[in-house]
Amino acid sequence: MQLRYSFRLYPTAGQRGALARAFGCARVVYNDALRARETARAGGKSFPKIGDLSKLLVTEAKKTAERAWLGEVSAVVLQQSLRDLDTAYRNFFDGLKGKRPRMGAPRFKSRKDNRQAVRFTANARWRITPGGDLSLPKVGDVRVKWSRALPSVPSTVTVIKDAAGRYFASFVVETDPAALPETESVVGIDLGLGHFAVLSDGTKIDAPRFLRRAEKRLKKAQRNLSRKAKGSNNRDKARIKVARAHARVADARRDFHHQLSTKIIRENQAVAVEDQAVKGLARTRLAKSVHDAGWAAFVAMLEYKAALYGRTFIRIGRFEPTSQICCVCGTKDGPKPLHIRVWTCRGCGTVLDRDINAAVNIAKAAGLAVTACGAQVRPVRVPAQREEAGTHRDGPPVVAGIPAR
C-alpha cells in the first residue's frame, strides 16, 4: 500500500526564491491549460489532450519571449501541473457520474492561495544526499528535519508551502503491511463532543478542544490583522501570525489523533465506529465544536492503520439506534434528549451510561463480541498543545511505525 510521509524543510533565502519561481510557473501552466480547456468547451469542441497541452504550453511556450521564464524551473514540475489538472477534471466528471463524492469543477489558481505545491517525480532526478539534504533540480540542496526513516525508496516528492509560510517535503512510498501480534481485545467507539471518544470497555477520552483553548490567542491575532491597511506589509505579517496560530491548533489536533488512533489499533484486534453525519452537524449551532473534534480525520487514521497493521476496521451505518437499545437485554427504549446521560432500561432494570451503551451497541452491530456494558469509567490524560510541550528542532531519525509492546 502507498503511504505519505511529510517532513519539515528549511530552505535558504535563495532556495525560497527558486521555490517561489517553481510555484509560479506551475500555477501559470495550470491556469493556461484550464483556460484552453474551458475555451474549447465553450466553443463546443472536445477537450485538448494532455500531450497537446504539454507541447503547446510548455515546450513551445518556452521559445516565446512572454513565457521564456518557464525554462528557469524543472520541466517535470510543469508536466506534473498538467497532470494535476487532468486528475481534477477526472474527479469532477466521476463525481457527476456517481463514481465518487461530488466535487466542484477545477478552478483557476492564485498566488494568494493558502497552499502552494509542486511535485517532482523520478524523472526530475531529485535525490537525498549523503548528508541528509533534499537535492531538487534548479533549487539546490534543501535542509530537511528527519523525524523518522523512510520505509522504502520514495517514488515522488511534493514540496508544499502552507499559509503559515512553512515548507514541507511530502514523499509517497510503497510499504508492505506489518501485522502486529494478534490480541483478543475488540472495541466499539462512540464519538462525541462532551467526550471525544467513549470505548466499549468503559474508557472515556476527554475532548481536548484545541480550538476552544486557543480562541483567546486567535481572537487577538485576528483583531490585529483587521486593523492593518489592505495591501500593506504589516497586514501580510499579521496574516502570517494568524495562519501560524491556526497551524499550531491543527498540528496539536493531528498529533492527538495520531497518538490515540495508534494506541487503539495496537491494543485491539478489531475496531468498530459509527458513520457520523459531519456535514449535517456542521450546519448546526455545534459547527465549531464539530470541526474542532475532527472526527473524519481520526476515523481515516484508524482505517489506514488497521489496514497497515493487520487489524479489522468496521464502519456501521449512522442510522443504527445505538443510543436507544439496551446493550444487556436488547430492549429498544426509544429516543432520548441529549441531556439524559444515564437511563434505566425498562426491560431489565439495568442502569446504563448513554455513551458506553452506544459504544457497546456499535461493537455488537459490527458483529464483535463485547461484554463490557456498564464498565467503570477511567479517565485518559489529554496531551499538551504543541507550544506547551518542549521539542528539539533537530534530532536523529527514528523508524516509522507502531512499536509493539
State yes or no: is 201 an active-site residue.
no
Q: pLDDT at residue 403 above 60?
A: no
Identify the pLDDT of residue 373.
52
- Three cell numbers at 292? 474542532
Q: Phi-psi bin for 104: left (phi > 0), alpha (psi -120 to 50), beta? A: beta
**Average pLDDT of span 325-333:** 84
Question: How many helices (H) and strands (E) in the chain?
Answer: 10, 15
Q: Which residues 6+ apart lie within 8 Å of 194 measured at CB?
A: 207, 355
The per-residue pLDDT for range 40-76, each reduced to its tens digit, is 999 999 889 989 999 999 999 999 999 999 999 999 9
Count of beta carbons in the 10 Å neighbourhood of residue 10: 15
Whether the per-residue pLDDT at 164 is higher than 90: the answer is: yes
Segment 148-165 mean pLDDT: 92
The answer to whether 80 touches 121, Cβ cutoff 8 Å, is: yes
Which entry of 32, 84, 201, 274 is annotated as an active-site residue?
Answer: 274
Q: Mind listing the pLDDT tens digit for each residue in 181-231?
A: 999 899 999 999 889 999 988 899 999 999 999 999 999 999 999 999 998
Highest mean pLDDT among 50-59, 159-168, 318-327, 380-389: 159-168
Segment among 137-146, 298-307, 376-385 with least mean pLDDT: 376-385
Query: How much is the average pLDDT of 20-32?
Result: 96
Distances in Å between the alpha carbon of 100 and those of 2, 89, 90, 91, 162?
20, 13, 11, 8, 27
Nearest residue to 301 via CA among 260, 267, 266: 260
- Give yes or no for residue 238 having a pLDDT over 80: yes
Active site residue 355: yes
Rounded (to 5) percent helix, strand, coil in the chain = 40, 20, 40
pLDDT at 323: 83
pLDDT at residue 330 greater than cutoff 90: no
Query: Distance (Å, rounded) from C-alpha 3 to C-alpha 116?
Result: 21
Q: Which helix (H) or strand (E) holds 245?
A: helix 233-267
Which of 201, 303, 353, 355 is catalytic? The answer is 355
Judge whether residue 22 has pLDDT over 70: yes
Which residue, 246, 174, 242, 249, is CA-closest to 210?
A: 249
Per-residue pLDDT at 304? 93
Which amino acid is it at 223? R
**What is residue 19's three-state secondary structure?**
helix
Average pLDDT over residues 295-311: 93
- The confidence score (pLDDT) of residue 331 equals 83
Residue 342 has what pLDDT? 87
- Strand-pair partners of 120: 157
349-367: per-residue pLDDT in tens?
888 888 888 899 898 888 8
Inter-residue contact 110 to 145 (CB < 8 Å): no
Over residues 250-266, mean pLDDT:
95
d(CA 198, CA 215) in angstroms, rounded, equals 26
Q: Report the pLDDT value the prediction gives residue 17, as an integer from 0 to 100.
A: 96
Q: Is 255 one of the annotated active-site residues of the chain?
A: no
Q: Give, for 379, the enclosing helix (H) or strand (E).
A: strand 378-380
Q: How many CB atoms lie within 10 A of CB 171?
A: 19
Mean of the per-residue pLDDT values of the chain:
87
End-to-end alpha-carbon separation of the chain, Å?
24
Other CB atoms within 10 A of residue 327 CB: 27
pLDDT value of residue 400: 43
Task: Identify the pLDDT of residue 399.
Answer: 38
Rounded distance between C-alpha atoms, residue 203 and residue 264, angstroms: 11
What pLDDT score does 382 carry?
42
Active-site residue, from 84, 190, 292, 303:
190
Helices (H), 45-160: 50-54, 75-96
pLDDT of residue 392: 42
| Residue 371, pLDDT score | 61
H or E segment to which residue 173 belongs: strand 167-174
pLDDT tens, position by position, 107-132: 999 998 989 999 999 989 999 999 99
DSSP characters for 257-323? HHHHHHHHHHH-SEEEEEPP-HHHHTTSTTHHHHHHHTHHHHHHHHHHHHHHTT-EEEEE-TTS-TT
Describe the crossing of helices 75-96 and 13-42 by its angle, rounded to 10 degrees.
Answer: 40
Residue 90, pLDDT above cutoff 90: yes
User: How long is the chain?
Assistant: 405
